Amino acid sequence: MLKLLIVEGNTKEGRDMAIAAGSQTQSDLYEKTLLWLRPDAQCMIVCPADADAILPKGADLEAFHGIIWTGSSLNIYEDDPAITRQIDFMKTCFEHNVKIFGSCWGLQVAVVAAGGKVVRNQKGREIGIARDIHTTEEGQTHPLYSGKTGPFDAVAVHLDHVEDLPVGATVLSGNDMSEVQALEIKYGNAIFWGVQYHPEFDLKYMAYILQKYKKMLVDENICADETAVDQLSADYNNMHNDKSRDDLRKRLKMRDDVIDPSVRLQEVSNWLEFVEHTVH
Protein backbone atom coordinates (compact mmCIF):
# COMPACT_ATOMS: atom_id res chain seq x y z
CA MET A 1 0.00 0.00 0.00
CA LEU A 2 1.34 3.40 -0.98
CA LYS A 3 1.52 5.98 1.78
CA LEU A 4 1.28 9.44 0.20
CA LEU A 5 1.58 12.92 1.69
CA ILE A 6 -0.44 15.63 -0.07
CA VAL A 7 0.79 19.17 0.52
CA GLU A 8 -1.96 21.77 0.08
CA GLY A 9 -0.62 25.02 -1.39
CA ASN A 10 -3.49 27.34 -0.48
CA THR A 11 -4.20 29.28 2.70
CA LYS A 12 -7.18 28.48 4.90
CA GLU A 13 -8.97 31.47 3.40
CA GLY A 14 -8.41 30.12 -0.09
CA ARG A 15 -9.55 26.64 0.88
CA ASP A 16 -12.69 27.99 2.54
CA MET A 17 -13.51 30.05 -0.57
CA ALA A 18 -13.38 26.94 -2.76
CA ILE A 19 -15.70 25.02 -0.45
CA ALA A 20 -18.10 27.99 -0.15
CA ALA A 21 -18.29 28.13 -3.95
CA GLY A 22 -19.46 24.53 -4.01
CA SER A 23 -16.12 23.14 -5.19
CA GLN A 24 -13.37 21.44 -3.22
CA THR A 25 -9.86 22.17 -2.03
CA GLN A 26 -6.97 21.30 -4.31
CA SER A 27 -5.69 18.76 -1.80
CA ASP A 28 -9.09 17.03 -1.69
CA LEU A 29 -9.14 16.98 -5.49
CA TYR A 30 -5.66 15.48 -5.54
CA GLU A 31 -6.64 12.83 -3.00
CA LYS A 32 -9.63 11.92 -5.18
CA THR A 33 -7.32 11.70 -8.20
CA LEU A 34 -4.72 9.55 -6.46
CA LEU A 35 -7.35 7.16 -5.13
CA TRP A 36 -8.82 6.84 -8.63
CA LEU A 37 -5.37 5.78 -9.85
CA ARG A 38 -4.46 3.72 -6.76
CA PRO A 39 -7.62 2.80 -4.79
CA ASP A 40 -5.63 1.19 -1.97
CA ALA A 41 -3.34 4.21 -1.37
CA GLN A 42 -3.30 5.87 2.02
CA CYS A 43 -3.27 9.68 1.81
CA MET A 44 -2.55 12.34 4.43
CA ILE A 45 -3.02 16.09 3.83
CA VAL A 46 -0.94 18.87 5.39
CA CYS A 47 -1.29 22.65 4.96
CA PRO A 48 2.11 24.36 5.47
CA ALA A 49 0.66 27.77 4.56
CA ASP A 50 -1.03 27.73 7.98
CA ALA A 51 0.97 29.08 10.93
CA ASP A 52 -0.35 26.30 13.18
CA ALA A 53 0.28 23.45 10.73
CA ILE A 54 1.85 20.30 12.18
CA LEU A 55 4.31 19.08 9.57
CA PRO A 56 6.15 15.75 9.45
CA LYS A 57 9.94 15.80 9.39
CA GLY A 58 12.84 13.43 9.74
CA ALA A 59 11.83 9.79 9.96
CA ASP A 60 8.15 10.74 9.87
CA LEU A 61 8.68 12.39 6.48
CA GLU A 62 10.61 9.44 5.08
CA ALA A 63 7.79 7.13 6.20
CA PHE A 64 5.83 8.38 3.18
CA HIS A 65 6.51 6.67 -0.12
CA GLY A 66 5.82 9.89 -2.02
CA ILE A 67 4.92 13.56 -1.55
CA ILE A 68 2.56 15.49 -3.83
CA TRP A 69 2.32 19.29 -3.90
CA THR A 70 -0.86 20.93 -5.18
CA GLY A 71 -1.42 24.18 -7.00
CA SER A 72 -2.12 27.50 -5.27
CA SER A 73 -3.47 30.98 -5.95
CA LEU A 74 -0.39 32.48 -4.25
CA ASN A 75 2.54 34.13 -6.06
CA ILE A 76 5.83 32.80 -4.80
CA TYR A 77 7.78 36.07 -5.15
CA GLU A 78 5.48 37.85 -2.69
CA ASP A 79 6.71 38.50 0.86
CA ASP A 80 4.18 36.46 2.79
CA PRO A 81 4.71 34.01 5.69
CA ALA A 82 2.19 31.66 4.06
CA ILE A 83 4.64 31.41 1.16
CA THR A 84 7.94 31.30 3.04
CA ARG A 85 6.61 28.55 5.29
CA GLN A 86 5.99 26.44 2.20
CA ILE A 87 9.44 27.11 0.76
CA ASP A 88 10.96 26.10 4.09
CA PHE A 89 8.93 22.89 4.13
CA MET A 90 10.05 22.04 0.58
CA LYS A 91 13.64 22.55 1.72
CA THR A 92 12.95 20.11 4.53
CA CYS A 93 11.56 17.62 2.02
CA PHE A 94 14.70 17.97 -0.11
CA GLU A 95 16.83 16.97 2.87
CA HIS A 96 15.33 13.49 2.92
CA ASN A 97 15.29 10.46 0.69
CA VAL A 98 11.84 11.09 -0.75
CA LYS A 99 10.22 11.29 -4.16
CA ILE A 100 8.16 14.40 -4.81
CA PHE A 101 5.66 15.45 -7.47
CA GLY A 102 4.33 18.97 -7.93
CA SER A 103 1.69 20.63 -10.10
CA CYS A 104 2.09 24.31 -11.03
CA TRP A 105 2.65 25.92 -7.60
CA GLY A 106 4.38 22.76 -6.45
CA LEU A 107 6.88 23.08 -9.30
CA GLN A 108 7.46 26.74 -8.50
CA VAL A 109 8.06 26.08 -4.80
CA ALA A 110 10.57 23.35 -5.66
CA VAL A 111 12.43 25.61 -8.08
CA VAL A 112 12.75 28.41 -5.52
CA ALA A 113 13.63 26.05 -2.65
CA ALA A 114 16.44 24.59 -4.78
CA GLY A 115 17.84 28.04 -5.67
CA GLY A 116 16.05 28.93 -8.91
CA LYS A 117 13.79 31.87 -9.74
CA VAL A 118 10.10 32.22 -10.62
CA VAL A 119 8.66 35.44 -12.07
CA ARG A 120 5.47 36.83 -13.57
CA ASN A 121 5.22 35.70 -17.20
CA GLN A 122 5.44 38.73 -19.46
CA LYS A 123 3.46 36.84 -22.10
CA GLY A 124 0.48 36.83 -19.78
CA ARG A 125 -1.69 34.20 -18.18
CA GLU A 126 -2.10 30.66 -19.45
CA ILE A 127 -5.57 29.50 -18.44
CA GLY A 128 -7.93 26.82 -19.62
CA ILE A 129 -5.78 24.75 -21.94
CA ALA A 130 -1.99 24.95 -22.33
CA ARG A 131 -1.49 24.27 -26.02
CA ASP A 132 1.13 22.37 -27.98
CA ILE A 133 3.45 21.24 -25.20
CA HIS A 134 6.56 19.64 -26.66
CA THR A 135 8.88 17.31 -24.80
CA THR A 136 12.56 18.21 -24.86
CA GLU A 137 15.19 15.71 -25.98
CA GLU A 138 15.60 14.73 -22.33
CA GLY A 139 11.84 14.59 -21.83
CA GLN A 140 11.35 12.18 -24.73
CA THR A 141 13.18 9.46 -22.81
CA HIS A 142 12.22 10.47 -19.27
CA PRO A 143 9.80 8.17 -17.40
CA LEU A 144 7.55 11.16 -16.58
CA TYR A 145 6.37 11.03 -20.20
CA SER A 146 6.34 7.29 -20.72
CA GLY A 147 3.34 6.49 -22.92
CA LYS A 148 2.62 10.17 -23.60
CA THR A 149 2.61 11.20 -27.24
CA GLY A 150 3.22 14.79 -28.23
CA PRO A 151 2.81 17.55 -28.83
CA PHE A 152 -0.06 17.53 -26.35
CA ASP A 153 -2.41 19.94 -24.56
CA ALA A 154 -3.00 20.12 -20.82
CA VAL A 155 -5.38 21.79 -18.38
CA ALA A 156 -3.63 24.82 -16.89
CA VAL A 157 -3.94 28.06 -14.97
CA HIS A 158 -0.89 30.13 -14.11
CA LEU A 159 0.55 33.61 -14.49
CA ASP A 160 4.02 32.84 -13.11
CA HIS A 161 6.72 30.65 -14.62
CA VAL A 162 10.34 29.60 -14.19
CA GLU A 163 12.94 32.15 -15.25
CA ASP A 164 16.13 30.65 -13.77
CA LEU A 165 16.66 26.95 -13.22
CA PRO A 166 18.27 25.66 -10.04
CA VAL A 167 21.32 23.43 -10.09
CA GLY A 168 20.28 19.83 -10.67
CA ALA A 169 17.27 20.71 -12.86
CA THR A 170 16.47 19.18 -16.24
CA VAL A 171 13.73 20.68 -18.42
CA LEU A 172 11.44 17.98 -19.79
CA SER A 173 8.88 19.97 -21.79
CA GLY A 174 7.80 23.47 -22.81
CA ASN A 175 5.57 25.46 -25.14
CA ASP A 176 5.34 28.96 -26.61
CA MET A 177 3.96 30.40 -23.35
CA SER A 178 6.52 28.85 -20.97
CA GLU A 179 9.82 27.23 -21.80
CA VAL A 180 9.48 25.14 -18.64
CA GLN A 181 6.26 23.11 -18.64
CA ALA A 182 7.88 20.19 -16.83
CA LEU A 183 11.18 19.44 -15.15
CA GLU A 184 13.08 17.12 -12.87
CA ILE A 185 15.14 18.42 -9.96
CA LYS A 186 17.70 16.29 -8.19
CA TYR A 187 18.53 18.26 -5.09
CA GLY A 188 19.74 17.21 -1.68
CA ASN A 189 18.58 13.65 -1.12
CA ALA A 190 15.28 13.96 -2.99
CA ILE A 191 14.05 13.59 -6.56
CA PHE A 192 11.36 15.99 -7.74
CA TRP A 193 9.21 15.74 -10.85
CA GLY A 194 6.99 18.72 -11.61
CA VAL A 195 4.64 20.08 -14.26
CA GLN A 196 3.56 23.68 -14.75
CA TYR A 197 0.10 22.53 -15.81
CA HIS A 198 -2.58 20.64 -13.84
CA PRO A 199 -3.12 17.00 -14.87
CA GLU A 200 -5.21 16.56 -11.72
CA PHE A 201 -7.77 19.20 -12.81
CA ASP A 202 -10.78 17.70 -14.55
CA LEU A 203 -12.96 19.95 -16.69
CA LYS A 204 -15.51 20.37 -13.90
CA TYR A 205 -12.85 21.81 -11.61
CA MET A 206 -11.57 24.02 -14.42
CA ALA A 207 -15.10 25.36 -14.89
CA TYR A 208 -15.00 26.45 -11.24
CA ILE A 209 -11.60 28.11 -11.79
CA LEU A 210 -12.98 30.08 -14.73
CA GLN A 211 -15.81 31.37 -12.55
CA LYS A 212 -13.38 32.18 -9.74
CA TYR A 213 -11.30 34.35 -12.05
CA LYS A 214 -14.20 35.79 -14.04
CA LYS A 215 -13.33 39.46 -13.52
CA MET A 216 -9.64 38.82 -14.16
CA LEU A 217 -10.41 37.02 -17.43
CA VAL A 218 -12.29 40.08 -18.66
CA ASP A 219 -9.76 42.61 -17.31
CA GLU A 220 -6.90 40.74 -19.02
CA ASN A 221 -8.84 40.51 -22.31
CA ILE A 222 -8.85 36.72 -22.23
CA CYS A 223 -12.65 36.75 -22.52
CA ALA A 224 -14.74 39.52 -24.08
CA ASP A 225 -17.08 39.89 -21.11
CA GLU A 226 -18.52 38.03 -18.12
CA THR A 227 -21.19 36.41 -20.28
CA ALA A 228 -18.41 34.86 -22.38
CA VAL A 229 -16.79 33.52 -19.21
CA ASP A 230 -20.11 32.02 -18.10
CA GLN A 231 -20.49 30.33 -21.48
CA LEU A 232 -16.95 28.98 -21.44
CA SER A 233 -17.40 27.65 -17.92
CA ALA A 234 -20.69 26.01 -18.90
CA ASP A 235 -19.03 24.42 -21.93
CA TYR A 236 -16.30 22.94 -19.72
CA ASN A 237 -18.93 21.53 -17.37
CA ASN A 238 -20.92 20.09 -20.25
CA MET A 239 -17.83 18.53 -21.76
CA HIS A 240 -17.02 16.98 -18.38
CA ASN A 241 -20.53 15.52 -18.09
CA ASP A 242 -20.77 14.23 -21.65
CA LYS A 243 -17.45 13.35 -23.25
CA SER A 244 -19.18 12.29 -26.47
CA ARG A 245 -20.06 15.91 -27.38
CA ASP A 246 -18.21 16.30 -30.69
CA ASP A 247 -19.61 19.82 -31.08
CA LEU A 248 -17.89 20.91 -27.86
CA ARG A 249 -14.70 19.08 -28.75
CA LYS A 250 -14.50 21.07 -31.98
CA ARG A 251 -15.53 24.42 -30.51
CA LEU A 252 -13.17 24.15 -27.53
CA LYS A 253 -10.44 22.43 -29.58
CA MET A 254 -10.17 19.69 -26.97
CA ARG A 255 -8.69 16.25 -27.49
CA ASP A 256 -8.43 13.17 -25.30
CA ASP A 257 -5.28 14.56 -23.67
CA VAL A 258 -7.53 16.87 -21.61
CA ILE A 259 -10.86 14.99 -21.77
CA ASP A 260 -9.91 11.37 -21.08
CA PRO A 261 -8.57 10.96 -17.50
CA SER A 262 -6.48 7.95 -18.46
CA VAL A 263 -4.57 10.21 -20.89
CA ARG A 264 -4.71 13.43 -18.87
CA LEU A 265 -3.29 11.74 -15.77
CA GLN A 266 -0.47 9.88 -17.51
CA GLU A 267 2.26 11.93 -15.79
CA VAL A 268 0.80 11.35 -12.32
CA SER A 269 0.39 7.65 -13.07
CA ASN A 270 4.00 7.46 -14.27
CA TRP A 271 5.22 9.11 -11.08
CA LEU A 272 3.25 6.65 -8.96
CA GLU A 273 4.91 3.79 -10.84
CA PHE A 274 8.29 5.43 -10.21
CA VAL A 275 7.49 5.57 -6.51
CA GLU A 276 6.22 1.98 -6.45
CA HIS A 277 9.44 0.64 -7.94
CA THR A 278 11.28 1.73 -4.80
CA VAL A 279 8.75 0.33 -2.33
CA HIS A 280 9.95 -2.90 -0.77
Catalytic site residue from 104, 158, 161, 267:
104
Residue 216 has a pLDDT of 94
Catalytic site residue from 8, 31, 184, 200:
200
Confidence of residue 229 (pLDDT cuts 50, 70, 90): very high
Phi first, then psi: give them for residue 66, nearest 5 degrees.
Answer: -160, 155
What are the residue ranges of helices labelled H in the chain?
12-20, 26-37, 59-62, 81-94, 105-113, 137-140, 203-212, 214-219, 226-241, 246-252, 256-259, 261-264, 266-276
Computed over every residue of the chain, the mean pLDDT equals: 96
Calculate what percentage of the chain has a pLDDT beyond 90: 96
In contact, 6 and 27? CB cutoff 8 Å: yes
Residue 87 has a pLDDT of 98
Q: Within 13 A of 18's CA, how many CA atoms are on the CB side?
A: 22
DSSP 23: -
What are the residue ranges of helices labelled H in 95-201?
105-113, 137-140
**CB contact set of 127 (below 8 Å; sequence gap of 6+):** 156, 157, 158, 209, 210, 213, 217, 222
Give the bridge partners for 43, in sequence order: 4
End-to-end CA distance of the chain: 10
Residue 210 has a pLDDT of 97
- 200 carries an active-site annotation: yes
- Find the helix packing angle between 81-94 and 105-113, rounded to 10°: 70
Q: Which string of DSSP letters, residue by residue, matches 253-271?
A: T--HHHH-HHHHTHHHHHH
What b/e string do you get for 57-92 counting C-beta neighbours within 10 Å, with b at 16 or more?
eeeebeebbbbbbbbbbbbbeeeeebbebbbebbbb
CATH class of 3-200+265-276: alpha beta
Residue 279 has a pLDDT of 74
Average pLDDT over residues 233-238: 97
Whether 236 has a pLDDT exceeding 60, the answer reads yes
- 220 carries an active-site annotation: no
Task: Answer yes or no: pTM beyond 0.85.
Answer: yes
Q: Where are the domains of the chain?
A: 3-200+265-276, 203-256
- Per-residue pLDDT reduced to its tens digit, 135-182: 999 999 999 999 998 899 999 999 999 999 999 999 999 999 999 999
In contact, 77 and 109? CB cutoff 8 Å: no
- Per-residue pLDDT reduced to its tens digit, 90-124: 999 999 999 999 999 999 999 999 999 999 999 99
**CB contact set of 236 (below 8 Å; sequence gap of 6+):** 203, 204, 206, 207, 210, 252
- Per-residue pLDDT reduced to its tens digit, 36-91: 999 999 999 999 999 999 999 888 999 999 999 999 999 999 999 999 999 999 99
- 93 carries an active-site annotation: no
CA distances from 155 to 17, 151, 190, 199, 206 (A): 21, 14, 27, 6, 8
Residue 130 class from Cβ within 10 Å (0-12 exposed, 13-18 middle, 19+ buried)? buried
Confidence of residue 278 (pLDDT cuts 50, 70, 90): confident
Catalytic site residue from 47, 161, 198, 267:
198
Whether 186 has a pLDDT exceeding 80, the answer reads yes
Residue 280 has a pLDDT of 57
